[in-house]
């Protein structure tokens, strides 16, 4: 009798654990679907009148040049404060961002620059083996998590560098768990004429980006959820 009672208790405990696990998975799944449904929806009228803390991801080479051109036409008062992030080995991009912010401050007569400049570890350097990149990717994700907890931006603006992927993934995770709702705006590089970059493809296919912009009409036809904005360069 005692053996049967112990067996019943064990079965009940196992069933309870399975039920709790299924309930947890179901809750997470519904939350993810809700976040995807809400993705791209306009902000509330109250939020749209207030300044939005903005994270700007810079990439080496043409990525930063395109981003600077994009920032020149943004409403600076609305997207503030601004946080610039570049790879740890990319000092040139941050220098260009500092020049931009100083010019904006001089033109507006404001002495204090409403911007911060940060660096993040790369997931993988050019030419790095895939075996060693596993460790560097984990380090980059941990660093990205720390930066996102520190900044907690309302807007994430990026245009293709691989550095943006861990930051955007964590921003999406924050939406799911309810830490912060960050709107992710992705602008595909003008160099991408016929197909998306790997970064763009990941953010598009996984429904991570709230708004996805391309600079060539054939890309918009191939990826119908993207918005064609013309050439920004």
**Residue 184: in which H helix or E strand, if any?**
strand 183-187
**Same domain, residue pair 13 and 77:** no
Phi, psi (degrees; rounded to nearest 5) at 154:
-90, -20
75 with 154, same domain: the answer is yes
> Is pLDDT at 104 greater than 90 in this prediction?
no
60 and 133, same domain (yes or no):
yes
Is 44 part of a structural domain of the chain?
no
Q: Are residues 99 and 75 in the same domain?
A: yes
- Please report whether residue 57 resides in a domain: yes
For residues 214 and 227, what is the distance between their CA atoms, to the nearest angstrom?
6
Quote the domain boundaries for residue 77.
Answer: 51-228
Residue 124 lies in a domain: yes
pLDDT digits (tens, 9 = 90+) for 180-208: 889 999 999 998 999 999 899 999 999 99
Please give the Cα distance from 205 to 68 (Å, whole number).
26
Is residue 96 located within the same domain as residue 17?
no
Average pLDDT estimate for 108-120: 76
What is the pTM assigned to this prediction? 0.84
Cα separation of 197 and 200, whole Å? 5
Ramachandran assignment for 230, one of left (phi > 0), alpha (psi -120 to 50 degrees), beta (any other): left
Rounded to an integer, the average pLDDT of 130-145 is: 81
Q: Are residues 25 and 91 in the same domain?
A: no
Tell me how far apart the alpha carbons of residues 24 and 64 are, in angstroms, rounded to a whole number. 42
């Amino acid at each position: 009798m005692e053996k049967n009672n112990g067996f019943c208790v064990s079965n009940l405990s196992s069933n309870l654990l399975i039920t709790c696990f299924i309930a947890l998975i179901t809750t997470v799944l519904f939350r993810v679907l809700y976040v995807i449904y809400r993705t791209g929806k306009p902000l509330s009228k109250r939020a749209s009148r207030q300044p939005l803390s903005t994270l700007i991801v810079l990439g080496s080479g043409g990525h930063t040049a395109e981003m600077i051109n994009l920032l020149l036409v943004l409403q600076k008062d609305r997207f503030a404060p601004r946080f610039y992030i570049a790879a740890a080995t990319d000092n040139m991009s941050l220098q260009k961002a500092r020049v931009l912010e100083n010019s904006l401050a001089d033109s507006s007569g404001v002495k204090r620059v409403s911007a911060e400049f940060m660096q993040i570890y790369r997931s993988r350097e050019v030419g790095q083996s895939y075996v060693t990149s596993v460790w560097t990717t984990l380090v980059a994700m941990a660093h990205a998590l720390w930066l996102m907890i520190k900044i907690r931006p309302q807007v994430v603006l990026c245009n293709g560098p691989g550095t943006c992927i861990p930051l955007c993934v964590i921003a999406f995770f924050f939406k799911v768990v309810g830490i912060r709702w960050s709107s992710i705006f992705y602008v595909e590089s003008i160099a991408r004429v016929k197909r998306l970059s790997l970064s763009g493809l990941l953010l598009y296919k996984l429904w991570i980006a709230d708004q996805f912009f391309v600079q060539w009409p054939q890309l918009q036809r191939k990826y119908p959820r993207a918005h064609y904005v013309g050439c920004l360069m």
